[in-house]
Amino acid sequence: MNVMICSTVLVTLSSFLALVAPATAQTYPAKPVRIVVGTSPGGSPDVFARLIAQKLNESWGTVIVENRIGANGNLAAETIAKSVPDGYTAYVCDSAIWAINPHLYAKVPYNPLGDFAGVSTIAALPMFLTVHPSVPARTYAEFVGWVRQNPGKISYASAGNGSIHHITTELFKSLAGLDMVHVPYKGMGPGGQALIAGDVQVVFTSYTAIAPFVKADKARMLAISAGRRTAVLPDIPTIAELGVPGFDMASLLGALVPVGTPRDIIAKLHNGIVAAVASPEVNARMVGFGVNVGTSTPEEFDAQMRVEHEKYARLVKLSGAQLD
């Protein structure tokens, strides 16, 4: 009887230790991996996270995408910051989390550079300078000339105060010497509709948000905000090419984990994400969204986050936006 009891205790203890033992690259993943996104279904982080998760599922088993919506991604960021750093909870998000929100809000519920470890960048999400068909400008140069002839009379839409669209347009105005009136909307959906309706004349927005209207001749693209052209629209020039040297505005999308996650686990997650993004089917789908696909090492991503954090401190101040 004593031998049986002892044996049972040993088995139970062994099982317990297996559960609490830290994950290693050899055993990871031993249970479902959760990828959190702070946007609703259909947003870029959600779509790309699901593409990656679907590919990872082919070799890893269960990878779940969870939408935690609220406070412009801050709610999801707080969830990640407080998660166990074991590699089983990751966050696919954009520059708002580590670069914009910390300067936009009086306080955020996480440390943007202290609570997260980079896994890999995924893509840069550029915006396209787009105008209503009534605008009497068919080129970027004509557009700049037209705005300068009508200072304070031209309106542009954004997804709200402090959004990447707002910050990008304010930087563009400053560097190009233009005077346009900001009209904030609750999201780029309503902002895009305002452009189509002619309520505003200008918008910086994503390819997916505006492409259907461009194809229907209800809007016209003039330039791209990123530092390089996109594969889906190689004929649309960059603003830097057109007379604003160094202009490079694109929201960086990447995968983060809680700080303290073992480096070998980060490496395993990094390799999985990079392989998924490089796969022909996932890469083609992502390129089709009008983004510049690009992965990085965890160390490179950490460095990029620090650079962007400093960069957007200046740009948020330039925009004048502040949220409670």
- Based on the fold, state whether residues 64 and 206 are members of the same structural domain: no
Strand ranges for 115-268 from DSSP E = 116-126, 128-131, 154-158, 180-184, 202-205, 220-224, 250-258
pLDDT at res. 9: 35
Is residue 324 a part of any domain in this protein?
A: no
Q: Under DSSP, is residue 114 helix (H, G, I), strand (E, B) or coil?
A: coil
- Based on the fold, state whether residues 105 and 145 are members of the same structural domain: no
Whether the CB-CB separation of 228 and 292 falls below 8 Å is answered with: yes
pLDDT in tens, 267-292: 999 999 999 999 999 999 999 999 99
Looking at residue 313, its amino acid is: A
- Tens-level pLDDT at each residue, the chain (324 residues): 444 333 333 334 334 434 444 556 678 999 999 999 999 898 899 999 999 999 999 999 899 999 999 999 999 999 999 999 999 999 999 999 999 999 999 999 999 999 999 999 999 999 999 999 999 999 999 999 999 999 999 999 999 999 999 999 999 999 999 999 999 999 899 999 999 999 999 999 999 999 999 999 999 999 999 999 999 999 999 999 999 999 999 999 999 999 999 999 999 999 999 999 999 999 999 999 999 999 999 999 999 999 999 999 999 999 999 997
Residue 167, domain CATH: 3.40.190.10
In what helix (H) or strand (E) does residue 67 lie, and over which residues does it extend?
A: strand 63-67
- Based on the fold, state whether residues 134 and 47 are members of the same structural domain: no
What's the rounded Cα separation, in Å, for the pair 192 and 159? 9
pLDDT at res. 29: 95
pLDDT at res. 53: 98
What's the rounded Cα separation, in Å, for the pair 295 and 91? 15
If you search the block for the tokens 């999308």, which residue do you land on?
253
In what helix (H) or strand (E) does residue 36 lie, and over which residues does it extend?
A: strand 33-37
- Based on the fold, state whether residues 220 and 137 are members of the same structural domain: yes
Is residue 229 a part of any domain in this protein?
A: no
Is residue 101 a part of any domain in this protein?
A: yes
- Based on the fold, state whether residues 68 and 101 are members of the same structural domain: yes
β-pair partners for 128: 205, 224
Structure tokens of 71?
A: 């406070």
Is residue 288 a part of any domain in this protein?
A: yes
Strand ranges for 229-291 from DSSP E = 250-258
- Based on the fold, state whether residues 119 and 255 are members of the same structural domain: yes
- Based on the fold, state whether residues 168 and 193 are members of the same structural domain: yes
Give which of 240, 243, 233, 239 is closest to 291, Cα–Cα.
233
What value, to the nearest 5°, has the Cα angle with vertex 311 and ends 237 and 229?
A: 15
Is residue 20 a part of any domain in this protein?
A: no
Is residue 75 a part of any domain in this protein?
A: yes
Structure tokens of 185?
A: 């909307």
Residue 301, domain CATH: 3.40.190.150
**Residue after which a domain boundary falls, among 224, 259, 292:** 224
Whether the CB-CB separation of 258 and 161 falls below 8 Å is answered with: no
Is residue 44 a part of any domain in this protein?
A: yes
Q: Under DSSP, is residue 74 helix (H, G, I), strand (E, B) or coil?
A: helix
- Based on the fold, state whether residues 254 and 120 are members of the same structural domain: yes
Kindly tell me the sign of the dihedral angle through the C-alpha atoms of 142, 186, 184, 240. Answer: negative
Provide the domain limits for residue 219: 128-224
- Based on the fold, state whether residues 97 and 181 are members of the same structural domain: no
**Residue after which a domain boundary falls, among 224, 259, 287:** 224
- φ/ψ region of 36 (left if φ > 0, alpha if ψ in -120 to 50, else beta) reads beta
- Based on the fold, state whether residues 183 and 119 are members of the same structural domain: no
Give the count of domains, the chain: 2
pLDDT at res. 42: 87
In what helix (H) or strand (E) does residue 38 lie, and over which residues does it extend?
A: none
- Based on the fold, state whether residues 116 and 179 are members of the same structural domain: no
Is residue 11 a part of any domain in this protein?
A: no
DSSP 72: G
